[in-house]
Amino acid sequence: MRVKMSSIHVIDPALAFDFYTTTLGFEPLMVMPDYNLFIVQAPNIPDGPGLLLEPSDHPAAQAYRSALYDEGMPAIVFGVDDVAAEMERLSALGVRFTGPPATDAMGTQAVFDDGCGNYIQLHQD
């Protein structure tokens, strides 16, 4: 068994698709704008899981996304080889981080705002 697809609730799936592909570097997996359906996946992993950019228009989804955001909790964690280098790259593209990277027994982490209603954590082992 493996993860085939996961989702993240976003305020605007089309806007999120642009950010996740153009800024973060994910690749389009399925794009159906007429259905507000946008799925991306990590580059160079053709059989990897998809990430559905889920519309947050259902009251339960909106409450969940908003609660996480209001608490400053990341909605999802993305693994990277070098948190500092990724922070530098993304900061140059205008991405806003909540603070400097932190290192503990679990690795190095940094959190940024995706501009689509979520905080995202970068993690390096």
Segment 96-103 mean pLDDT = 97
**Can you give the pTM of this predicted structure?**
0.94
In this prediction, residue 44 carries a pLDDT of 86
Mean per-residue pLDDT for 80-96? 98
What is the mean predicted confidence (pLDDT) over 58-65? 94
Fold of 5-124: 2,3-Dihydroxybiphenyl 1,2-Dioxygenase; domain 1 (3.10.180)
Q: Residue 79 above 90 pLDDT?
A: yes
Mean pLDDT within 38-63: 94
**Residues near 52 by beta carbon (within 8 Å), at least 6 away in sequence:** 5, 6, 7, 8, 37, 38, 39
Residue 46: the pLDDT is 82
Proportion of the chain above pLDDT 70, given as a percent: 100
